[in-house]
């Protein structure tokens, strides 16, 4: 029989889930496959104090954003540097434009998102909200 989780609070259950997930992922990958020396970083663009680099990796290029400042400033740099990618992800999730493949997921997301955010909003620290505002404004600024 499996382990019973009755009487254990949700936070503890989630912590246990992530520990087990991490252990499973870690045991399924060999260390030699995980550690690869990346190529030299190439600077792609700058925005304020933020810089976006690209590194060559075995499974494709990796993007590395170096950001600094207040939470709002870091969010603005992040949005400015990665706004195009953020917009692509939002479009794929919400089903905007050409992504008709995931219409059921998009409908569910658009239906559930406001309710989920309403429940989480009181618990989100103001500094994270500042960062989110910065991301939005930076992405808008980048076009």
Query: Is the Cβ–Cβ distance between 49 and 69 less than 8 Å?
Result: yes
pLDDT at 88: 84
pLDDT in tens, 1-15: 344 445 555 555 555
Residue 1 lies in a domain: no
Please report whether residue 116 resides in a domain.
yes
Q: Is the pLDDT of residue 102 over 50?
A: yes
Q: Which domain holds residue 50?
A: 10-142
Question: Which is more confidently placed, 23 or 80?
Answer: 80
Per-residue pLDDT at 34 exceeds 80: no
Model confidence at 106, pLDDT cuts 50, 70, 90, reads confident
2 within domain boundaries? no
How many domains does the chain divide into? Answer: 1
pLDDT tens profile 54-77: 998 888 888 999 999 999 999 999
Closest CA to 62 of 41, 47, 45: 41
Mean pLDDT of the chain: 78
* Assigned domain for 4 exists: no
What are the φ/ψ torsions at residue 77 (nearest 5 degrees)? -65, -45
What are residue 22's phi and psi, to 5 degrees? -65, -45
Q: If you average pLDDT over residues 86-104, what whole number do you get? A: 70
Q: What angle do CA 51, 80, 89 make, to 5 degrees?
A: 110
Residue bearing the bigger pLDDT, 48 or 109: 48
For the CA atoms of the chain, what is the radius of gyration?
Answer: 19
- The alpha helices in the chain, defined as continuous H runs, are 10-28, 31-34, 71-94, 103-120, 126-142
pTM over 0.75: no
3 in a structural domain: no
* 80: in domain: yes
Q: Say what the pLDDT of residue 45 is.
A: 94
């Amino acid at each position: 029989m499996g382990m019973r989780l009755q009487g254990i609070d949700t936070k503890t259950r989630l912590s246990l889930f992530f520990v087990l997930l991490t252990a499973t992922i870690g045991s399924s990958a060999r260390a030699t496959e995980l550690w690869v020396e990346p190529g030299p970083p190439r600077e792609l663009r700058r925005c304020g104090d933020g810089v976006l680099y690209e590194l060559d990796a075995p499974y494709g290029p990796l993007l590395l954003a170096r950001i600094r400042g207040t939470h709002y400033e870091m969010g603005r740099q992040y949005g400015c540097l990665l706004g195009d990618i953020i917009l692509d992800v939002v479009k794929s999730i919400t089903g905007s434009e050409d992504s008709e493949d995931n219409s059921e997921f998009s409908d569910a997301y658009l239906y559930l998102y406001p309710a989920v955010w309403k429940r989480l909003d009181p618990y989100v620290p103001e500094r994270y909200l500042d960062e989110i505002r910065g991301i939005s404004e930076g992405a808008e600024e980048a076009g």
